[in-house]
Amino acid sequence: MTESQKVSKFSKLLEDMEKQVVCCEELDPGAGAEARPAFLEVCLSGTALIARLLQIAPDVVGKSRRLKALPQLDGDDPSALESPATKENSKRSAQIWGQTLELTAGLQGAAKLCASLVQEKKSWSKEQDERTELKGASQKLSGFLLYDLLDILAEYEPEEHAALRLQVVCSYLKELRVEFLWDAHVRGPFRADTIPSQCKFENLSDNLKGQLVAIHGGHQYEFTFETADGGKFECLVNNTGLENYRAILYSIWDRTTGKLSSHPRDGSAAWAFTEHECIQNLEAYACLITDLLKPFSPLADYSECARAIRSLLRKGRGRWTKMSHIEWSYLDEFDRLIAELDTKPKPYQLEA
């Protein structure tokens, strides 16, 4: 395999690992048996990613800080793991993902649980604790895979592999966006007649108005309605991914302006950060991305991209700071930047 072919395969692998991270996040442990295929797909695609990684760079696991515990697949057919053609192959592939979860995330019994997902006739337990743990461990492992791959790809010379470096930068921008949404508190105007269908506030009269505070939270999104007369109402919604969380926010406040569509004069929602650890996380991403962009300055085809990224990273601030309020439109601008960068040719597309 030539270096160019290797970079091309790595590029496609990175794209698919990003999709795996999103799929893990969107799993719904509280759903019924209709969620079984989604859980199974995470197991199968996760093992396929591991098999592809080991085929492209067999030595990468030994060098990894976090992936040394991955099971050895020497006795398995990589092509069968990438695209399981039989039920037995699917069971083995799912089992490998479970074994890896046991080793890297300490999730006991994961191999048996993952293998059981292939058996459609097996009852779907009403107890969701196991599935909640499976989701959390799969998110953790997929994150390990993504970050270790990014570490590897960041070592390639950007002058020679500029398209790959830009893809790596874009991937880190997506992770910064995730961190932003996880950590930010949203506060904005709210009225009882603008409650979205997923939020089940109790004992609200129709004429109440005030401020709504939204937090992404862990297993559940947290919403607190603080009324103008001093009342407080709380609501929890099952966490089924950032896209669903954003859909709820945008059903309340306009995506671009942050205003209530039915009461635009009430003011606009804004983002805020209250925890020092959150600021540290955002600043770490910003510093890393800034360093990765430095080699682009003399490259005519990439210098403009680098300037656009730097100007938006901290929204004109020298550093992220605690209690700083970020205007609502920031995330929409960030989305548009990432969408534009995603249209740039990636190495595997250039190789095709």
pLDDT digits (tens, 9 = 90+) for 316-348: 566 777 656 788 999 999 999 999 999 999 999
186 pairs with which residues across the strands? 214, 271
Nearest to 11 by CA among 50, 68, 56: 56
Distance between CA atoms of residues 7 and 352, nearest Å: 12
Q: Determine the average pLDDT of the residues in 309-318.
A: 79
Q: Which of 124-138, 155-169, 327-341 has the lowest mean pLDDT?
A: 124-138
Nearest-10 crossing angle of helices 162-183, 276-293: 170
260-282 pLDDT, tens digit per residue, is: 988 999 999 999 888 888 888 88
pLDDT confidence of residue 207: 84
253 pairs with which residues across the strands? 260
What are 9's two structure tokens? 């395969």
Which amino acid does the sequence have at 284? Answer: A
Nearest to 14 by CA among 129, 125, 174: 174
pLDDT confidence of residue 318: 65
Q: What DSSP line would sit under 73-140, residue for residue?
A: -TTS-HHHHHS--SHHHHHHHHHHHHHHHHHHH--TTHHHHHHHTT-TTS---S--HHHHHHHHHHHH
Of 145 and 322, the structure prediction assigns the larger pLDDT to 145
How many Cβ atoms from other residues are within 10 Å of residue 8's Cβ?
A: 21
Pairing of strands 185-191, 209-215: antiparallel
Distance between CA atoms of residues 60 and 54, nearest Å: 7
What values do phi and psi take at 321, rounded to 5?
-130, 150
Q: Which residues contact 171 (CB under 8 A, 6 or more apart)?
A: 14, 18, 146, 150
Instruction: Report domain extents, the chain.
Output: 3-153, 185-272
pLDDT confidence of residue 247: 93
pLDDT confidence of residue 129: 86
pLDDT confidence of residue 225: 93
182-231 pLDDT, tens digit per residue, is: 989 999 999 988 888 888 888 888 788 999 999 998 788 999 999 988 88
CB burial readout 289-326, b (16+ within 10 A) else e: beebbeebeebeebeebbeebeebbbeeeeebeeeeeb
Q: What DSSP line would sit under 73-88, residue for residue?
A: -TTS-HHHHHS--SHH
